[in-house]
Amino acid sequence: MSSASTVSVIVPTFDRGHLISRALDSVLSQTYTWLDLIVVDDGSADGTCDWVRTNYPQVKLLSQPNQGVSAARNRGITAARGEWIAFLDSDDAWCESKIEQQVEALAKEPRSRICHTDEIWIRNDVRVNPMNKHFKSGGNIFEQCLPRCVISPSAVLLHRSVFEDFGGFDEELPACEDYDLWLRLTAKLPVTYLPKKLVVKYGGHDDQLSKKYWGMDRFRIASLEKLIRSGVLTNVQIQSATNEMLKKLDIYLQGARRRGNRDDCLTYERKQDWARTCLEEPWKYAYNQLESRESAR
């Protein structure tokens, strides 16, 4: 990575006029100056768009009807002019050397197209420690990404070619869209990890997606099924993804049965049957299925 490469920073926002200045100030104070800052206002009704236009005239401001965070990020990617792309959620903030340190890390691994960092967590104004299940690392981390999202959008720096090769955020998913993208990427690409706390993630407020939607595993199950059916995974990856899908289906179905939701039970029991069949014959969905069929004869 060239030290003079432009990094496009995409900040999606929706009704965050009371928070966004913290995020934007953290970008504008970066020690790395080759930045292309893009704010995508996703149909805010609280004056966010006017606030940004008035107080941050140097920012490229895009506005669209409310379509969700995936559509907002994808709009920013389309408008980005940088070779590298970073995301910052409008309720988070960066340490001032975040991008510079990632650029230096990627310069040491010139074949890498993904870099993420560690982060500080703040919940309701109190610093908290992530649990072991949120442990971050680098390399080939597909297996680690299966249970939950372990790469924060605010912590990642990506070469723009990954979107050309693997597509953007899935706009059909109202939540867990980052989980979905990281699985697609890590199934094929290694990840550079910078074990430094260069992002401050703020949580606990009522407008977070994890509070807006119940049963978040619904979206992870949909993502896993889509990925397994895509034909891009190896046999081993399909078995790992299917085992994780079955775990999530079991937990989800327990809740559906407690709620007495018969239609939900029938839908997810069918998914469970399909996943069990898939686990027995993963080669049917593997990217090298022709070779697998020949070896199975």
Taking only the tens place, the pLDDT of each residue in 175-205 is 999 999 999 999 999 999 999 999 999 986 5
171 token code pair:
């706009």
Model pLDDT for residues 60-119, shown as the tens digit of each residue: 999 999 999 999 999 999 999 999 999 999 999 999 999 999 999 999 999 999 999 999
Region 261-278: mean pLDDT is 96
Give pLDDT, residue 45.
Answer: 96
Token couple for 26: 């953290």
We find that the CATH architecture of domain 7-207 is: Alpha-Beta Complex (3.90)
Residue 233 clears pLDDT 50, i.e. is over it: yes
- Of the candidates 34, 30, 33, 65, the one whose C-alpha atom is nearest the C-alpha of residue 49 is 65
What does the pLDDT read at residue 134? 78
**pLDDT mean over 200-227:** 79
Give the CA angle between residues 74, 80, 85 to the nearest 5°: 80
pLDDT tens digits, residue range 134-153?
789 999 999 999 999 999 99
Using the structure block, give the residue that is written with the tokens 């029991």: 269
Q: In 10 A of CB 259, how many CB atoms?
A: 11
Q: pLDDT tens digits for 20-33?
A: 999 999 999 999 99
Instruction: Return the domain boundaries, the chain.
Output: 7-207, 217-292
Q: What's the mean pLDDT in 272-284?
A: 94
The model's pTM: 0.91
